Copies of this chain bind each other. A is one copy, B any other.
Amino acid sequence: MEWIEITADWDAESLRKVTARSETEQNDVEATVAAILADVKANGDAAVLAYNKKFDGCNCKDLRISEAEIEAALQEVGPEMVAILKEAADNIRVYHEEQIMKSWLKEFRPGVRLGTHITPIRRVGLYVPGGRAAYPSTVLMDAVPAKVAGVPSLVMISPPNKDGRINPYILAAAHVAGVDEMYRVGGAQGIAALAYGTETIRPVYKIVGPGNMYVATAKKQVFGTVGIDMIAGPSEVGVIADSSANPTWVAADLLAQAEHDPMAAVYLATPDKALAEQVVAEVERQMTGAPREEIMRSSVERWMRVFVTPDIETAVAVMNGIAPEHLELALDNPEIWLPKVENAGAIFMGHYTPEPVGDYFAGPNHTLPTSGTAAFSSPLGVYDYSKRSSILSYDKQALTAIAHKVEALAKAEGLYGHAASVAVRHSEEVTNEN
């Protein structure tokens, strides 16, 4: 934990370094991943099955998850949990429907119609981690917006355990969200199967979802062949608190973030130093004996920062410099500070909106830009599963009217063929020199 006193002459840009938590050399990972990608590209299913055995200890033959397995998973998690998953999926769906883009075409100038043609990506792959980090909520958050966008073919992959099984909560969430195909394969080999295709798994056009270092590196390496979502780094929360905040609640919210990962970072900015001291004491009290105490303590010790600021405005500016994934405004009047927020993945308003509400239930996406990337990127959404194509339409008169200007610009750029393609339409003679 570190206390940072913000004074009048502070430098907002220095905060960009606060969020940089990992810039390790990973040349070994790069090479290992490249070899796995090449193997799967060349050898398809055979390579995938061999890696399933090697990395996951799974001696399975069928990559595809059957209807019977999905049915068994629904039984196992029980009807009450399925109902909660459905309600969460509905909330996510309703919120994301606000993001649907519509095609349009309109006349901007006489004879000049311009517009946008919106289409879904044809086939998308979702990566879902296995083991400790198996989060059914992430399946909903990644899959529901794809279906809202109209993606006709949505594929999920996840690493199997030794018996070839996938966490039943994951399968139940995928079923509820409308995933079309599910396969048992994880790691770089799973990313390769999605990007290049195998005998069993047809290739996709985009891959989304979190994963470990091998998965993230594989996604980076196949980027270009397919689209990818952001590369998720460790998670973080920032809380801006005034004297109206309850230190017990603020501490609980900081720890909810800290329990994710020893690399998770938690930031508090407040003008009320006494409050800050109470929060710090509460953090210590609440994490002692908590089920995930070890992870929490590691995160808090290394990555908790307490900023004591001259005023709320400066606290907001500090968080804008950090660009946290989650930003809680534990303030009496969060609305008046909202317009000042520049950089945050998601903003939680007031004392009764703890961050976990957004993880599961509210509706907005929990796949958010991490590690300061909220300064230049946005939550996952329908946009990520849709494409825009520009539409241009000139009639003869409209083209003739601007022909000489297009030709002048083309020639300024030395592109005579560009000029010719316009000129040819208003002269019978094609002149190459034109």
Contacts and interface: CB of A to CB of B under 8 A. Distances in A.
Contacts of A405: 84, 87-88, 360-361
8 contacts: A84-B405, A132-B414, A256-B421, A286-B420, A289-B432, A290-B417, A356-B418, A362-B392
Nearest to A95: B114
Given A357-B402, A360-B409, A393-B349, A98 B94 contact: no
Nearest to A359: B418
Interface stretch (A156-164, A271-279, A339-347): A339-347
Considering residues A116, A354, A355, which has the most beta carbons from chain B within 10 angstroms of its beta carbon? Answer: A354
Nearest to A228: B376
A227 B376 contact: yes
Given A84-B408, A357-B406, A392-B353, A94 B108 contact: yes
A75 interface: no
Nearest to A418: B356
A355 B16 CA distance: 42
Contacts of A419: 356
B352 A394 contact: yes
A347 B394 CA distance: 12
A164 to B, nearest CB: 22
**Count of identical protomers in the assembly:** 2
> What interface size band does chain A fall in?
35 or more
B421 A252 contact: yes
Given A360-B410, A395-B352, A379 B375 contact: no
Nearest to A384: B376
A214 interface: no
A244 to B, nearest CB: 14
Contacts of A381: 388
A81 B399 CA distance: 19
Interface of A: 13, 16, 77, 80-81, 84, 87-88, 91, 94-95, 98, 104, 108, 112-114, 116-117, 119, 121-122, 132, 134-137, 169, 202-203, 205-206, 224, 226-227, 231, 233, 248-249, 252-253, 255-256, 258-260, 286, 288-292, 296, 327, 334, 338, 341-365, 368, 371, 373-379, 381, 383, 386-396, 398-399, 402, 405-406, 408-410, 412-422, 424-425, 430, 432-433
Contacts of A394: 350, 352-353, 357, 362
A296 B203 CA distance: 33
Contacts of A88: 405, 409
A358 B410 CA distance: 12
Contact of A343 (B119, B296, B416, B430): B119
B412 A338 contact: no
Nearest to A226: B376
B341 A389 contact: yes
A63 B242 CA distance: 45
A137 B421 CA distance: 17
Contacts of A135: 413
A422 B87 contact: no
B389 A425 contact: no
Contact of A121 (B354, B376, B409): B376
